[in-house]
Structures are given as structure tokens and as C-alpha cells.
Amino acid sequence: MRLNRHNSDGFTLVELLVVVAIIALLVSILLPSLGAAKTAARIVKAHAELRNITIALTMYRHVNGKKLPPTRFSCSMQNAYDLPIELAEQNLLPGDRKDTITVVGVPDAFSAGETYKYRAPGPAIMNESVLMENAATLWVPNDFPDCGGTGGRYYNDAGESPVRYALWSIGPDANSPKFADTPGRGPIPNRFWCTGASDSGFITHFEDQDGNIHPSP
């Protein structure tokens, strides 16, 4: 006796719906971890590029009488604390153009339209035109280098400041609530720092007067 068998060339509707549901479940599980991994990779990239900038600044000091390039800011604050163009002009870092202004061609890992940021106590250039002595300030906590205290002061004299300069990335979230906490005192106090892929805040490197580099986590 011959048995009749039903041969199917594809999925039934129920089977297809089950497969779609499983895929959706896997995506919902994997997406957060993939997003965290991507953020972690960008944090690593930011640290690597900030470290390269510290090396460029060390080389700059060696050939410029141990002086650092001036801090930059503008009345509109559109290019406040951009990396010093002197690093590009002396071929220590790549250069680029931003509108009509030369900038260092090392964009922030978390903001392609911005460079990493730089502040050093001492001279400042306003609006790419006016050089002012001791106009650039940097907030340093009293418990430096621990940087956990709330007390501290602004330094505008390069010889008095415990910190030569600070570099930073805006980190994973430019609108982080951490930046609302007296943002002018960033990036050295550790309450402003990004501590991992699930956090927000500054990713920073800064150098003390002994030449030691202090990075955030």
C-alpha cells in the first residue's frame, strides 16, 4: 500500500512568524550590547588620539622654548578651545579647514564637526586676532591629582598652575547632565569624567608640571 505524503516547498505562515519573532528577540537582546561595544571602541579611539596630541604638545615645547601654544576662544564660542593651529602649522599634527579658519585635522571621536579641546593657563587668542596675556584659565581642584574634591581655583599663570594643559573629548553625550555642573570648571575634576561605555562625560588627558600625563578612565 502506498502512503500519501504532503510535500512542502517552503515555510508555513506559522513557522515564518515564529522565525521572525525569534529574530526580533535576538535583535532586542544584542542591540544594547552592540551599542555599548561601539561606544567603548570610540572611547578607546579618543584616548589614543588624545595621547597622540600630548606627544605633539611635548614636541612643540621642545622646539619652542618650553612654551605651549595659546588657548583659543571666540565671542560666539563657536570655536572655543579648539586644538591650537600651531600644531598643524609646525607639522606636528595634520591640518584642515573649518570655514575660513585653519584647524587641526583631528576630529573628536564623538563629534566629527569639532576638534578635541585644549586649555592651558596663560596666553589666549580671542577671535583668531587678539593675543591676551594670562587670559586663559584652568580650574584645578585643591586635591590634585586625585581630582575628587569640590574645592579648587582657576589658574591663569602657567608658572603657578599645577597643570600645564588639559585636552578632552566631549564624550558619548554632548548634552550630558554632568556638563551642567559648573561646566567652566571642566574637564579636570573627576565628577565630569566619562567612566565607561554606559556613562557620559569628558574623556580627558592633562599634564602636570612634572610632565606626567593623567588620563580619565
Which domain, by its residues, includes 111?
42-215
Confidence of residue 113 (pLDDT cuts 50, 70, 90): confident
Tell me which of 41-45, 96-100, 131-135 is least confident.
96-100
Which comes out higher in pLDDT, residue 128 or 172?
A: 172
Confidence of residue 165 (pLDDT cuts 50, 70, 90): very high
In a domain, 147, yes or no: yes
| CA separation for the pair 170, 99 (Å, rounded) | 21
Domain count, the chain: 1
In a domain, 183, yes or no: yes
In a domain, 174, yes or no: yes
In a domain, 37, yes or no: no
In a domain, 28, yes or no: no
Confidence of residue 6 (pLDDT cuts 50, 70, 90): low
Q: What are 69-87's pLDDT values in tens digits?
A: 999 987 655 568 999 999 9
Give mean pLDDT, residues 121-128.
Answer: 90
In a domain, 170, yes or no: yes
Helix-, strand-, coil-residue percentages of the chain, each rounded to 5: 30, 30, 40
By three-state DSSP, how is residue 111 classified?
strand
In a domain, 205, yes or no: yes
| CA separation for the pair 84, 70 (Å, rounded) | 7
Q: What is the mean pLDDT of the chain?
A: 88
Tell me which of 50-64, 74-88, 112-126 is least confident.
74-88
In a domain, 96, yes or no: yes
